[in-house]
């Protein structure tokens, strides 16, 4: 089913994100994650895309398995900055052959290696270039990324939202946000999208804190702020992994509950291939999920 239609049918969408195992590990190791998610009943599961190397082929393979073997809708991420027109065409063909109906169209991060050879000509400079290609094909419901606290490469949020408006107008059906820890930032962002007449549904990206150093690194890399409340939690529990995990789950639960109360239409949990964490958070939310049906 297309995610665009899911948004029309349901008051709130709950989705999960997983990443493919490294190419050196057997692809089947992802089944442990998927088996562990039994009972969570997400509306869909998305599978991330590695920019280069063989691991990128696993995205489509896993997205197909989620749909066919587990009966859960799936979405394949696809990034374009390092791809030629032929490579993107081959990816699109593969997605269709495998019955994937939903794609998260991404630019991908600019490789840090100064000697990285970008394809020439560079057909896909922005995600909007990929959105146009997918839209022209007509087979997919198209999602795209958005950044409540501004994308790191952009001068300011106003410009980023202007670029986002253009991307959405190229054919995006729904947006999934980058992780954030301060709901007020997200609610303000939603108001700004409304003013910019960006009217597609937006899922809030929530990442449960499982490890202090890992989360601080993610915040640094993504430009996501660490609110005082989160910093206090990291200071108090950061050296004690079990307590950190429990506190992180409580923080994510509270964040999601507040977002749903505030009328947000979708939650995308960056579950980091930890089904146990996803399960506990979704269990914590059972009563509020019932209210959202
Ligand atoms: C939900 C989510 C999932 C992700 N999954 C993956 C994944 O699976 N694999 C992966 O490699 N990365 C993934 N990423 C990371 C993403 O690829 C990076 O954040 C990347 O730097 C930007 O991608 P984008 O699609 O948002 O790019 P774009 O929409 O192209 O935006 C990138 C920058 O360019 C600017 N821009 C956009 N359009 C224009 C324009 N027309 N003119 C001038 N400037 C413009 C924007 O303001 C922004 O600063 C994900 C991010 C999110 C939020």
Q: Using alpha carbons only, give the angle 283, 286, 287 rounded to the nearest 5 degrees.
A: 145
Q: What is the pLDDT of residue 53?
A: 57
Q: Which of 107, 116, 176 to mutate to test the pocket of ligand 1 (most atoms within 8 A of CB)?
A: 107
Model-wide pTM > 0.95: yes
51 lines ligand 1 (CB under 6 A): yes
**Ligand 1 atom with the shortest distance to the CA of 48:** 8
Cβ atoms of residues 184 and 191 within 8 Å: no
Closest by CA to 13, choosing from 280, 256, 275, is 256
Tell me, in angstroms, the distance from the centre of ligand 1 to residue 224's CA.
Answer: 15
> Is the per-residue pLDDT at 28 higher than 90?
no
Q: Classify the C-alpha dihedral 273-274-275-280 as positive or negative.
A: negative
The pLDDT assigned to 42 comes to 95
* List of residues 6+ apart from 201 with CB closer than 8 A: 7, 13, 174, 175, 265, 266
Residue whose Cα lies nearest atom 5 of ligand 1: it is: 48
CB 163 near ligand 1, within 6 Å? yes
Any ligand 1 atom below 6 A from CB of 132? no
Q: Is the peptide bond before 121 cis (omega within 30 degrees of 0)?
A: yes
Look at ligand 1, atom 14, and give the residue with the nearest C-alpha: 108
Share the mean pLDDT of the chain: 94
CA distance 276 to 40: 10
Ligand 1: which atom is nearest the Cα of residue 159?
47
CA separation (Å) from 96 to 11, 71, 140, 263? 28, 18, 9, 34
Q: What distance in angstroms lies between residue 230's CA and the mean position of ligand 1's atoms? A: 26
- Which atom number of ligand 1 is nearest to the Cα of residue 77? 8
- Going by alpha carbons, the residue nearest to atom 49 of ligand 1 is 154
Mind listing the pLDDT tens digit for each residue in 99-124? 999 999 999 988 888 888 888 888 99
pLDDT computed for residue 260 by the predictor: 95
Lowest mean pLDDT among 9-18, 23-32, 154-163, 165-174: 23-32
Return d(Cα 273, Cα 279) in angstroms, integer.
11
pLDDT per residue over 148-180, tens digit each?
999 999 999 999 999 999 999 999 999 999 999
Tell me the pLDDT tens digit for each residue of 126-156.
999 999 999 999 999 999 999 999 999 999 9
The confidence band for 51, taking pLDDT boundaries of 50, 70 and 90, is low
Mean pLDDT of 263-291: 91
Q: What is the pLDDT of residue 52?
A: 59
Using CA atoms, how far residue 263 sits from 11, 19, 49, 110, 186, in Å, is 9, 29, 30, 34, 12
Instruction: Please identify, by atom number, the ligand 1 atom nearest to the C-alpha of residue 105.
Output: 25
pLDDT of residue 250: 97
Tens digit of pLDDT for each residue in 219-252? 999 999 999 999 999 999 999 999 999 999 999 9
Indicate whether 255 pLDDT > 70: yes
Q: Is the CB of 109 under 6 A from ligand 1?
A: yes
Residue 245, both tokens = 């995990």
Which domains does the chain carry?
3-291 (3.20.20.220)
Ligand 1 contact, 151 CB (< 6 A): yes
Q: What is the mean pLDDT of residues 5-16?
A: 96
Q: Name the nearest CA neighbour of 196 among 144, 248, 160, 225.
A: 160
pLDDT exceeds cutoff 70 at 54: no
pLDDT at 113: 83
Q: Is residue 17 annotated as part of the catalytic site, yes or no?
A: yes
């Amino acid at each position: 089913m297309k995610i665009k239609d899911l948004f029309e049918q349901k008051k709130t969408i709950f989705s999960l994100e997983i990443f493919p195992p490294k190419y050196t590990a057997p692809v089947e190791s992802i089944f442990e994650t998927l088996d562990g998610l039994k009972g969570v009943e997400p509306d869909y599961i998305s599978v991330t895309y590695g920019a280069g190397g063989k691991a990128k082929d696993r995205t489509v393979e896993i997205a197909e398995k989620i749909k066919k073997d587990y009966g859960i809708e799936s979405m394949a991420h696809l990034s374009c900055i390092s791809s030629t027109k032929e490579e993107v065409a081959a990816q699109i063909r593969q997605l269709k052959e495998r019955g994937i109906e939903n794609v998260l169209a991404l630019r991908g991060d600019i490789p840090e290696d100064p000697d990285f050879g970008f394809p020439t000509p560079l057909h896909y400079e922005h995600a909007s270039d990929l959105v146009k290609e997918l839209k022209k094909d007509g087979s997919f419901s198209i999602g795209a990324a958005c950044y409540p606290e501004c994308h790191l490469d952009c001068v300011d949020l106003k410009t980023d939202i202007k670029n986002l408006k253009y991307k959405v107008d190229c054919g995006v059906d729904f947006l999934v946000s980058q992780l954030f820890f301060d709901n007020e930032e997200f609610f303000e962002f939603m108001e700004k999208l409304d003013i910019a007449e960006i009217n597609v549904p937006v899922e809030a990206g929530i990442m449960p804190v499982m490890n202090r150093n890992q989360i601080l690194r993610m915040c640094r890399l993504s430009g996501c702020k660490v609110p005082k409340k989160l910093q206090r939690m990291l200071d108090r529990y950061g050296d004690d992994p079990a307590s950190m995990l429990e506190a992180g789950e409580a923080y994510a639960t509270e964040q999601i509950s507040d977002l749903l109360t505030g009328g947000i239409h979708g939650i995308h949990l960056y579950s980091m291939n930890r089904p146990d964490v996803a399960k506990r958070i979704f269990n914590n939310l059972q009563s509020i999920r019932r209210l959202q049906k």
